Amino acid sequence: MADKIAKDGKAPSIVFLSDPDHLVIDRYGIWNPAGKGWPHPTTLVIDRQGIVRWKFVEVDYKVRPTNAQILDALAMLR
């Protein structure tokens, strides 16, 4: 994925998660049994202690949380 979105030969400066054994997917309960091996599209807000404080899960990959929803969830961490 990093290679696909690289610009001018430079990889992005973000961390990508590879989860071939579904350890993280299973931990957060986002496995999609009908999804041909893909998890449900999910956005998580996780605090510094590793606790999920907000979760947006949607079956339709086209439906995503708004920036305002994510910012509101982040604001709750303060």
pTM, whole model, 2 decimals? 0.69
Domain containing 64 equals 2-75
In the predicted structure, residue 31 carries a pLDDT above the cut 80: yes
Question: What is the rounded CA–CA span in Å between residue 58 and residue 27?
Answer: 17
Question: What is the rounded CA–CA span in Å between residue 20 and residue 8?
Answer: 29
Question: What is the rounded CA–CA span in Å between residue 22 and residue 38?
Answer: 10
Indicate which CATH number applies to the domain containing 8: 3.40.30.10
**pLDDT given for residue 22 in this prediction:** 86
Q: Tell me the Ramachandran region of residue 70: left when phi exceeds 0, alpha when psi lies from -120 to 50, beta otherwise.
A: alpha
Q: Which single residue is written with the structure tokens 């997917």?
A: 25
In the predicted structure, residue 14 carries a pLDDT above the cut 80: no
3-state SS assignment for residue 7: strand
Number of separate domains in the chain: 1
pLDDT band of residue 65 (cuts 50, 70, 90) is very high
What percent of the chain is modeled with pLDDT above 90?
41
